[in-house]
Amino acid sequence: MTEAALRERVCLLARSLFERGLTHGSTGNISARTGDGGLLVSPTGTSFGLLDPARLARFDAGGRHVDGDRPTKEMPLHTAFYDTRGTAGAVVHLHSCHSVALSLLSDPGEDFLPPLTPYAVMQLGRVTLLPFFLPGDPAMGQAVRGLAGKRSAVMLANHGPVVAGRDVEAACNAIEELEATAQLALLTRGMGPRSLTEAQVRRVVDTFDVEWDA
């Protein structure tokens, strides 16, 4: 994909997320790896519904901001995923409502999402709930680095999910699956929902080559 096409794709997908209520106002940020090893990143303080392909922040392969508007203050989150997961081609961070709501009812640690469907297991693997950090705090990136590349998705308590994918479409699809699973968890909370059994989870993990045990 050319860089021009990638710029358009990033903005199209971001607008789709915004228009369907998965993030709001000027919340959320998105980045994608360019063909030369650089990054395209959504600017700080911008709405996902109004991103301009020509104004995306551009970083070169050395991590220097070389063009476009000033990037999101959540860059430590993005660079932590790129630096620790060699397969990461894009990172998306949203303030999606059901995910945040579920984080208010959970304690930081492993397995933020229950295995309610095979799709969450397939697209996300295990999701770690990280503690609360101030927005823009570099400690968020340090917490992701502490996972040593073993997670493609994390949930920031009282804040929102962050997901890395092989490309921008995969990252967006996965973070939507995270939000949908969080919504299911809330809808069935206290009702004794029938989650996948350990054996069923293992079949999904083995069949679809999911990172699960790390």
Q: For residues 150 and 199, what is the distance between their CA atoms, to the nearest angstrom?
A: 22
| CA angle at 83 for the pair 79 and 101, rounded to the nearest 5° | 55
Q: For residues 187 and 191, what is the distance between their CA atoms, to the nearest angstrom?
A: 9
Q: For residues 167 and 147, what is the distance between their CA atoms, to the nearest angstrom?
A: 21
**Known catalytic membership, residue 119:** yes
Strand partners, 153: 163
Count CB atoms within 10 A of the CB of residue 207. 10
Q: Are 96 and 32 contacting, i.e. CB atoms less than 8 angstroms apart?
A: no
Q: Which of 65, 119, 137, 166 is catalytic?
A: 119
Q: For strand 153-156 and strand 128-130, is the pairing parallel, antiparallel, or unpaired? A: parallel
Q: Are 208 and 122 contacting, i.e. CB atoms less than 8 angstroms apart?
A: yes
Q: For residues 164 and 212, what is the distance between their CA atoms, to the nearest angstrom?
A: 15
What type of residue sits at position 90?
A
Structure-derived torsion over alpha carbons of residues 144, 148, 171, 72, reported in degrees to the nearest 10: 30
| Token couple for 70 | 């000033």
- By annotation, the residues acting in catalysis are 119
